[in-house]
Amino acid sequence: MSSGGWQTAQRGKGVAAVPDPDVTLGPMHRSPLALLLCFATSACGSWILEEPTDGSEVNWYGTILDGPYTGENGVLSGGEVLVYDLDEELVAEGTEPDADNPGYWKLQVPPSTPVALHLAGQGMLPTVWRGVTPGDLGYWYTGALFAYEQELWLPFFEQFDGQGAVSIQPLGDDVCWLWGSPADPDAWAGAAIELLDGAGQPAMVLAYHLSDQGELEPATTRSVQYFLAFNLAPGDVTLSVQAVDGRAFEETWPAWPGEVVSAWFLELPPGDS
């Protein structure tokens, strides 16, 4: 990925971390996590022949990028994609079925099953995602699943050192980080966002609003485009959100040591009609 696609700088209390005018985050930026999980074959063709399964497993395909979608991304290739169920049993190991299309992955998974996806690779910050496998043959949209290219994204994370009095500890055996983004930033305006790390300890969440000047500023009561947390103990990391309209959301990621928890495309439940 070209580092020119993202600007990272500090000015006062704001942190600039938004695409330049020539690059957009693309249609997945505000799409719900469900778009990662499944859409039927009628929604998308594939040039790969699909071998049948016996019904106990389904095939799940898609490209894994090296960071949030910009239009200039590289891919995660030659790495590791491991899928675990919530009992921490390994249910799938990803493969790249086409040597001519690196970064295009196949997962053979049990259908309609809540899972954690652990991604790692050469030069990447390891990360964990949560999702539900498709009920039938499925694909995820390009941009819905990504790792973090270390050369580009480590400086991005490190620029938050000192924000909210947080002194960032490096990723490692005892430390995880979290980066997330709501599907609907306006719905999170003024929300109470709480986080428990893998040791059950509360962690500070830094919530940011994207200003008209392209800077990330403390959200306070404004819409939340991004939120981050650092210095998290590995284990079950649980995010709880209480919106001002009363809607609530909770999700847990089983974070391994040194991983970035990817809490992207999160949606609050529907409100009363």
Whether pLDDT at 207 is above 90 = yes
Tokens found for residue 198: 């893998």
Please give the pLDDT value at position 149. Answer: 96
Tokens found for residue 128: 């964990």
Whether the Cβ atoms of residue 126 and residue 256 lie closer than 8 Å to each other: yes
Q: Using one digit for the tens of pLDDT, what is the confidence trace for 125-179?
A: 999 999 999 999 999 999 999 999 999 999 999 999 999 888 999 999 999 999 9
Q: Nearest CA to 84 among 55, 115, 113?
A: 115
34-58 average pLDDT score: 51
Please give the pLDDT value at position 146. Answer: 97
Q: Using one digit for the tens of pLDDT, what is the confidence trace for 46-57?
A: 444 556 567 789
Domains of the chain, earliest start first = 25-44+53-121+128-141 (2.60.40), 149-162+170-266 (2.60.40.10)
Whether pLDDT at 66 is above 50 = yes
